[in-house]
Amino acid sequence: MTRTREPESKSKTSSPSSSSTGMKLIVPLQGVVQGRGGILLGSLIPCALFYFFQLYLKKRRRSNDKHPSSNPPSPSSSFPELPRTPSRSNLSSRGSLTGVRLSRLATTISDDDSAYYVGLNRASRDPYHKLTNPDGIIQLGLSDNTLSLDLIGDWMRKWGSGGDDGLSINGIATYQAFDGVDELKLALSDFMHQVMGGSVHFDTSNMVLTAGATPAIEILSFCLADHGNAFLVPTPYYPGFDRDVKWRPGVDLIPVHCRSADNFNLSMTALEQAYSQARKRGVKVRGILVSNPSNPVGNMLTQDMLYNLIDFAEDKNIHLIVDEVFAGSTYGSEKFVSVAEILESDSEYIDNRRIHIIYGLSKDLALAGFRVGVIYSFNKNVLATARKLCRFSSISAPTQRLVTSMLSDKKFIQDYFETNRNRMRQVHHEFVDALSKIGIKCAKSSGGMFCWADMSGLIKPYSEKGELELWEKFMSIAKINITPGSACHCIEPGWFRICFTTMSLDEIPLVIERIRRVVEVCKFSS
């Protein structure tokens, strides 16, 4: 605000003196050159003078601007510097909370106001434990999966006792390829083939490995869009996208609202509308970002919808980013279709250079702590840039070695998937069933680690405010952390994401009992 106001007031106060100086030059000139020509000159010369004065002011302003643009002023600028203020006078200036000035990013980024992060933090400070902290907060706000941790543990023990076949120092202490070692890429390509039902092959040369899917999304954003550009994203969406796409890449997310009436499936009309509205506002849309299976709803994109999205991206000359981190965490009867599958089958007709896939092991192999993410892209230029940028987000070599061994054990991976899928299906079924018995319905879902539960009947008023009040009741009365729909930018109030993969079958009655308390309080007070 200050920035746009300052120059105007400057030029206003300066203009009288400037034109009166101009007058001294112009008036005699007009005396000499008589007639229409004189009047013309008398009009043109001040115009020219004023124009150059504006130019001068503009240049001067640029070199002294308190809030510089992304380009530093030209070093060749010949205009004098404003008198330098003593450094101490900066102490209380903007961006300097403590007297020591920080960047605008440091003073503006914040995840503290989102109920998603607030909930995670509160739950981590007072975590439930059956024996040591039975009144603690049960964490159902994080898509961790502990259902099949025992299998991973068994494998690790076996591997750890393997002696020299285990973790030796050769080829892990010194610098390694920052975008991932070839052995891990190969193992991941086989693994992803297996996860996607054997229907598509993944080429290791299209892979860049990163320290988790989070930096994979950030790096892709840096590659595809400039600061101030935007991606379209169907809502409700994963709360972390805001952090990954907006913070450092500075790319905006434009919501494309999906509705409960359509089980939160994306409508192409809404997508088209959001795109053209953004263009009308002058925003440059550079891509569509979708998660499939969807986080937080858990529904999946049909093959038809994937074709529609590809066509849309092609038509608008924008990118399509599909986050498939839950590809192997499905439990329904529907078959998951990777966008890679479509590209493989229709490779002649589709320009695959605008399609990019995000993958990782945090969900499908429940190894969130390992930080293994994948950018899978068909665009050589994106891959080249991502390979440079993953210097800042590379996976440590011991972990690469460990994960390579684990993924190469095909028998183990197959057993894990079978067992994990059965356990997820069972817990999901029991939990959704128990919720419905206390009057809470969930959206139809077939993947992901969460239920998307409709509690709109429990909120009052029917608004984000009501939703957050209900969320607060879950925290304080039920001692359960779940994610309110507003944190996922859901347009309809009253929906909540409840992760079910951090509770065992045995714990469902306890969780339901705690939820019931809130339901009763709400009924009682209405």
Does residue number 172 form part of the binding site for a copy of itself (CB under 8 A)?
yes
Q: At what angle do helices 410-437 and 508-525 cross, to 10 degrees?
A: 30
296-355 residues near a copy of itself, rule: CB under 8 A: 315-317, 319, 351, 353-354
The correct pick among 184, 325, 343, 389 for binding a copy of itself (CB under 8 A) is 389
The correct pick among 6, 37, 99, 437 for binding a copy of itself (CB under 8 A) is 99
Cα separation of 323 and 326, whole Å?
8
Minimum Å gap between C-beta 233 and a copy of itself is: 16
Q: Please give the torsion angle defined by the CA atoms of residues 268, 196, 419 and 435, in that order, rounded to the nearest 10 degrees.
A: 0
Cα separation of 172 and 170, whole Å?
6
- 458-497 footprint of a copy of itself as x/- string (CB under 8 A): ----------------------------------------
Residue 291, classified by CB atoms within 10 Å of its CB into exposed (0-12), middle (13-18) or buried (19+), is: buried
Q: Is 98 helix (H, G, I), strand (E, B) or coil?
A: coil
Identify whether the C-beta of residue 442 lies closer than 8 Å to the C-beta of residue 485: no
Does residue number 382 form part of the binding site for a copy of itself (CB under 8 A)?
yes
* Cβ-based neighbour number of residue 45 at 10 Å: 15
Minimum Å gap between C-beta 289 and a copy of itself is: 15
Does residue number 132 form part of the binding site for a copy of itself (CB under 8 A)?
no
The correct pick among 13, 34, 71, 132 for binding a copy of itself (CB under 8 A) is 71
Does residue number 92 form part of the binding site for a copy of itself (CB under 8 A)?
no
Does residue number 46 form part of the binding site for a copy of itself (CB under 8 A)?
yes
Q: Which range in 70-78, 408-416, 460-468, 488-496 contacts a copy of itself by CB under 8 A?
A: 70-78
Does residue number 392 form part of the binding site for a copy of itself (CB under 8 A)?
yes
Q: Tokens representing 459?
A: 């909120």
- The full DSSP string for 52-65 is HHHHHHHHHHHHH-
The correct pick among 14, 33, 42, 446 for binding a copy of itself (CB under 8 A) is 42
Q: At what angle do helices 397-408 and 410-437 cross, to 10 degrees?
A: 90
Sign of CA dihedral 144, 145, 146, 152: negative
3-state secondary structure 419-452: HHHHHHHHHHHHHHHHHHHCCCEECCCCECCEEE
The correct pick among 33, 167, 434, 510 for binding a copy of itself (CB under 8 A) is 167
Minimum Å gap between C-beta 4 and a copy of itself is: 9
The correct pick among 366, 442, 490, 499 for binding a copy of itself (CB under 8 A) is 366
Cα separation of 377 and 202, whole Å?
10
214-273 residues near a copy of itself, rule: CB under 8 A: 214-215, 218, 222-230, 243-244, 247-248, 250, 252
* Shorter beta-carbon distance to a copy of itself: residue 89 or 526: 89
Question: H-helix or E-strand containing 201?
Answer: none
Q: Is 407 helix (H, G, I), strand (E, B) or coil?
A: helix
Minimum Å gap between C-beta 249 and a copy of itself is: 8
Minimum Å gap between C-beta 218 and a copy of itself is: 5
Minimum Å gap between C-beta 13 and a copy of itself is: 14
Does residue number 101 form part of the binding site for a copy of itself (CB under 8 A)?
yes
Minimum Å gap between C-beta 466 and a copy of itself is: 27
Phi, psi torsion values for 67, nearest 5 degrees: -120, 90
- What CA–CA distances, in Å, run from 244 to 200, 354, 383? 28, 20, 18
DSSP 513: H
- 181-210 footprint of a copy of itself as x/- string (CB under 8 A): ------------------------------
Question: H-helix or E-strand containing 452?
Answer: strand 450-454
Give the residue carrying structure tokens 């890679």. 340
Q: Which range in 47-55, 129-137, 290-298, 514-522 contacts a copy of itself by CB under 8 A?
A: 47-55
Does residue number 149 form part of the binding site for a copy of itself (CB under 8 A)?
yes
The correct pick among 68, 134, 461, 509 for binding a copy of itself (CB under 8 A) is 68
Q: How wide is the angle at C-alpha 207 spanned by C-alphas 407 and 368, nearest 5°?
A: 50
